[in-house]
């Protein structure tokens, strides 16, 4: 997937970068960097987008107010 493909997908579903970031469990800056081309888009992203697409088609979408993010692990002391 190329950066322009990602931006087109996001716009097709009427999502902001922040909304897409929430759905993917990443920061809005990560989505912005993917779209700018300053950060490589991970190869699995197309699968995550397909899952979100399915959610939208089923009448769902991104659930706001909840976080899908996995907390970072603390460094061992």
Give the count of beta carbons closer than 10 Å to the beta carbon of residue 32.
Answer: 14
| Domain at 3-57, CATH homologous superfamily | lambda repressor-like DNA-binding domains (1.10.260.40)
Please state whether the predicted TM-score (pTM) of the whole model is above 0.85.
Answer: no
What pLDDT is stored for residue 51 in this prediction? 86
pLDDT beyond 50 at 73: no
**Phi/psi at 73 (5° precision):** -75, 145
7-21 b/e with 16+ CB inside 10 Å = b? bebbeeeebebebbb
* pLDDT tens digits, 13-63: 899 999 999 989 999 999 999 999 999 999 999 898 988 887 666 565 555
């Amino acid at each position: 997937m190329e950066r322009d493909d990602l931006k087109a997908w996001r716009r097709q579903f009427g999502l902001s970068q922040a909304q897409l970031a929430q759905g993917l469990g990443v920061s809005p800056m990560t989505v912005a960097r993917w779209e700018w081309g300053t950060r490589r888009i991970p190869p699995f992203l197309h699968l995550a987008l397909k899952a979100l697409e399915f959610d939208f088609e089923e009448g769902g979408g991104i659930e706001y107010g909840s976080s899908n993010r996995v907390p970072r692990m603390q460094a061992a002391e």
